[in-house]
Amino acid sequence: QSVLTQPPSVSGAPGQRVSISCTGSSSNIGAGYDVHWYQQLPGTAPKLLIYANTNRPSGVPDRFSGSKSGTSASLAITGLQAEDEADYYCQSYDSSLSGSVFGGGTKLTVL
């Protein structure tokens, strides 16, 4: 049971928009701690996709965007491409655990 809750899977056709939710609590996202998102392509290490809720590292396409409200955050991907098929993880800090916590991950399938 992960501290942050994500849907196990989402899917969309090429060109469409999908959104992945990340739900936390008052000790992590709701306490104001930043949410970060990672993309993990099959057989590779995770890659930072969005940091501090809404920011994209250099090189990440603007098709990826993040938002945060209350105890939840979301990752949106527009103009879906086959190469976006991967696992996506949200991550934040939890004050009751005094450490970082991850969501359980969401598998994105591009139909």
The binding site for other proteins (CB under 8 A) comprises 2, 33-34, 36, 38, 44-48, 51-52, 57, 89, 91-93, 97-105
Name the nearest CA neighbour of 95 among 22, 5, 6, 32. 32
Between 81 and 100, whose beta carbon lies closer to other proteins? Answer: 100
Distance in Å, CB of 60 to other proteins, minimum: 12
Nearest distance in Å: CB 51, other proteins: 4
Minimum distance of other proteins from residue 102's CB (angstroms): 4
Nearest-approach distance from CB 34 to other proteins, in angstroms: 5
Amino acid code (one letter) for 105 = G
The residue behind tokens 């959104």 is: 19
Query: Residue 17 or residue 37: which is nearer to other proteins going by CB?
Result: 37
As a whole number of angstroms, the distance between CA 65 and CA 77 comes to 7
Closer of 8 and 13 to other proteins (Cβ)? 8
Do residues 22 and 6 make contact, with C-beta atoms less than 8 angstroms apart?
Answer: yes
How far, in Å, CA of 66 to CA of 22, rounded? 11
